[in-house]
Structure formats: structure tokens, C-alpha cells
Amino acid sequence: MSSYSYKSYNRNNIRELPQVKYLSKEKYKEIEMLSLVFPFKINNYLADELINWENYETDPIFNLVFPNKNMLNNSLYDKLNYDFNNASEQTLKNTILDIWYKLNPHPAGQLDLNVALLNKRQIHGLQHKYNETVLAFPSAGQTCHAYCSFCFRWPQFIGVQDFKINLRQSNSLLKYLQHHPEVTDLLITGGDPMVMNSKSLENYLSELIENIETTNIQTIRIGTKSLSYFPYKYTTDKDAKAILNYFEKIISKGLNLSIMAHINSPNEQKTPVFAEAVRLIRSTGAQIRSQAPILKHINDSAEDWAEMWRQQVNLNIIPYYMFIPRDTGAKEYFEISLIEAWKIFSNAFRQVSGICKTARGPIMSALPGKIQVLGVSQLEKDGEMKDALALRFIQGRNPEWNNIPFYAELNENANWLTELKPFYGDKFFYEDNLMQIIGKKKHLLKQANESIEEISDHLEDTV
């Protein structure tokens, strides 16, 4: 199998990418300007093996990787375009910052409601939303193999400290998990933690792994795009063996290791090196699950999803989630309505055998939790039968909410939970409880901030 030396390209060195010759002048300029708002990153494997450059305008991977003008609404685009061509550097910077804030950098309470608190102190770089699962954002993994503009992680990539979440001290992770025996799953995320080499990954995890019996962790999940965007990482890369050995070591501690592979389109799974990377990862004892958002222009076809799930099962990957893109970044460009997403999911579901039906979706990862769109039901209301959208929690902030069907008025245009109205009454069943949970979290966070202020006052007094 041929090997690749990884080389990545971004706004600064895009001219060195050999395939740039395929871009029209207008397209090049569009990318140059929009990448100030939506940074991009591409590597030689993606460019050489996954993009059809002859038809780049309609190529799904090209449209995933590079920004285009439809990703901003008209007024934001016009403002950016004007300032890019006419304004001072400072004005342009302010405009870009203003656009970033308008793109909802932290959807669903990510920076406040999910914070992890220990002894009234906030642990930066950890997020704890659901009882059983903690998310860790290692500081060395705050970049990704791509910078998708729909991704809730995009604030990680734009270089503004305010928007970042990252964990510098791995011993905070161990301490936090020791104090939270309800946590069974640790999800290492980023960015993409698999941009780290084996040494960084080991540095980050070793204290936890060596003391794993002092926690209740049973599963370590690693969310990554590396499998489809640079599979050589697990095959011929000089660090590949060390990575696979470290996976084996994690598993030898009695842990389940699950690679949560982010795969958007069937083509990402078709190269021989992808299959080889899957085989090698599986040979360590790790499992691989696949997940992706459903995206207009990229994978909004039932055939694509059915094909992806079938290929995955053939390769020993477990189909897992179809997500609705979160309300952040270039969501408007990629979004499709909830009802459309449900139709595509259902149509794909009908095309595959039972073994592929581990896939769940479409799912919104929203403020109250992960909510699945189950479909349309006919229910009686005001003496007549009406269409209602059936929903359920896969994971709620309160586990008591899980798996209880509830209903919203059918709104063909709704793209997100906040655009839905309850079918019965004026509130969804969980809303009062959600307010209590939010109130409690805010109170704890306030206490934590006060204790930080007290500590800094104390330090100032003693200096």
C-alpha cells in the first residue's frame, strides 16, 4: 500500500496545493475572502483521492472543505464583501468578529450550562451534560482534520480565546472522574483528538488509564474525522504502530474503546486505505461507530445513507447516529427541515437489512438533550384528528425524560427544536424541570465564579 506524508493546506498556503489550478479566478477570490470567517483545512489525501476537481462545484467533499458565499446570508455577505475590498484592516477585523458572534458560536449552553464543576471550581476543558458521559477537550487536540463550517467546534479553530474550550491539565480529568462515579463514559473530543500523535494522546490519558480502577469509567470514546480524512494515520504513518499499540493498552485495562468516526459521504469509505485502517483499528479490539450530520448539498439523499450504512456493516463499522446540524456556523446553507431529514432517514432505513438498523436518527443535540424525530402521527385534538410530530429523548439532561414519546405540532419548515410548538398545552413535558436544572446549574456556576473572585482577591491581598 502506498504511503503518504501528510501535508495540509489552509488559507496561507493554498497556492501550494497542486489542484488549485482547477479553481476559477472568481472561486479562488471567494474562498480567499470567506475563509477569513470560515477557515478551511485540506490535506493531500483529500485533494488527491477524494475530490473530483473536474466537477468541484458539485463535489460533496469540496463543498464540505471550502467555504462558499451561500454560507452567509445576503446582508452579512455584502458587509464582508464591502469591507474586504474597501475597509481598513481594523474595520475588517471587527466585521469578522461581529459575524462570528452572529453565527451562534456556542449553541445549546455549551459554555455555561455544561460546565464541569469540582469543589466549586470550574474545570476548563470538560463538559458534563448527561449523567453518564463526560466530554474532554484536550488542549493539544483543538484542531481538526478539517474545519467544517457547520460544526459546533468551529469556534475552536478561529483563534479567539473567548470561544475556546480546552483542558490543559490531565490530572483535573482524573480528579473529576473520581468524584463522579455516575460517569461511565469518557468522550475525548476536540477539535479532533486524533490530530495528536501517540505521545500526546498517551500524555493526556496516562494518569487516568493508570488509575482507571479509582473511577467508574468503562468506555472511552474518541471522536474523530481522521479515519476518513487521513486513514494513513493508522496504516503507514510513522506513528501508526504506536497509536494502535496505545489503543491495545487502553483495552488491556478492561476498557471498551470506541472510535466515533465522523463519516459524511459514501466516497469517504471507498478507498483501499480506508478499509485497511478500519481493519487495523479493529484488530486492536477497538470498536468503530459512525456518525454524521445530514447536510444539504452533501448527503441529503436516502440512497447515500443506505449505501454508507451497508458499506459500514461490511467493513465492521457500527452505524450509529444521523444528526441534525446544530444551530451554529453555516447552518442555513447545510440545513434541511426536520421533516425532510426524517423522510430521508426513514427511506434509507427501509432500504437496509436489520443489521444496519443500529443507526438512529435524525437527532438534535439541543439544550434539553439529544432528541430524536420519530415521525408523524395522527392524534386527536379539539375533536378532530391532526398530524403531530412524534419525538423522544435519547439522552436528556434529566435521564427520567429518556424514551418517553412526546408530540409537537407538525411544522413542515421547522429546522430545530426551538421552532416547534407543543401539540398539547403550552409547554413540552420537560420544560419546567429543565428550567429548574438550568437555575441550579447557574447558581452553582455563580458560586464557582465567586470563589474564583475570592481566590484572586486573596492572592492580590497576599502579593
What does the binding site for ligand SF4 look like in residue numbers (CB under 6 A)? Answer: 144-148, 151, 153, 192, 225, 262
**Min dist. Cβ of residue 151 to ligand SF4 (A):** 3
Quick check: 280 and 241 in contact, CB under 8 A? no
**Min dist. Cβ of residue 344 to ligand SF4 (A):** 19
Q: Is 422 helix (H, G, I), strand (E, B) or coil?
A: strand
Radius of gyration of the chain (CA): 23
Quick check: 111 and 165 in contact, CB under 8 A? yes
**Min dist. Cβ of residue 143 to ligand SF4 (A):** 9
Minimum CB distance to ligand SF4 smaller for 30 or for 192 = 192
Per-residue burial over 279-312, b if 16 or more Cβ lie within 10 Å, else e, is ebbeebebbbbbbbbbbbebbbebebbbbbbbbb
Q: Which amino acid is at 352?
A: V
Minimum CB distance to ligand SF4 smaller for 92 or for 146 = 146
Q: Which amino acid is at 315?
A: L
Minimum CB distance to ligand SF4 smaller for 144 or for 367 = 144
By the 10 Å C-beta count (0-12 exposed, 13-18 middle, 19+ buried), 3 is classed as exposed
**Min dist. Cβ of residue 370 to ligand SF4 (A):** 17
Minimum CB distance to ligand SF4 smaller for 152 or for 309 = 152
By the 10 Å C-beta count (0-12 exposed, 13-18 middle, 19+ buried), 178 is classed as middle
DSSP symbol at 61: H
**Min dist. Cβ of residue 116 to ligand SF4 (A):** 20
**Min dist. Cβ of residue 7 to ligand SF4 (A):** 18
Sorted by sequence, the CB contacts under 8 Å of residue 363 that are 6+ apart come out as: 321, 322, 323, 324, 370, 371, 372, 373, 394
Helices (DSSP H) in 9-135: which residue ranges? 25-34, 44-45, 60-65, 74-86, 89-102
- In total, the chain counts a number of residues equal to 463
Rounded to an integer, what distance in angstroms lies between the CA atom of residue 114 and that of residue 233? 32
Minimum CB distance to ligand SF4 smaller for 65 or for 434 = 65
Residue with cell 454560507: 71
Minimum CB distance to ligand SF4 smaller for 209 or for 260 = 260
**Min dist. Cβ of residue 9 to ligand SF4 (A):** 16
Per-residue burial over 101-126, b if 16 or more Cβ lie within 10 Å, else e, is eebebbbbbbeebbbbbbeeebbbbb
**Min dist. Cβ of residue 139 to ligand SF4 (A):** 16
**Min dist. Cβ of residue 259 to ligand SF4 (A):** 13
**Min dist. Cβ of residue 284 to ligand SF4 (A):** 22
From residue 442, alpha-carbon distances to 82, 115, 371, 456 in Å are 41, 10, 23, 21
Residue with cell 434539553: 368
Rounded to an integer, what distance in angstroms lies between the CA atom of residue 353 and that of residue 375? 20
H/E element holding 134? strand 133-136
Minimum CB distance to ligand SF4 smaller for 146 or for 209 = 146
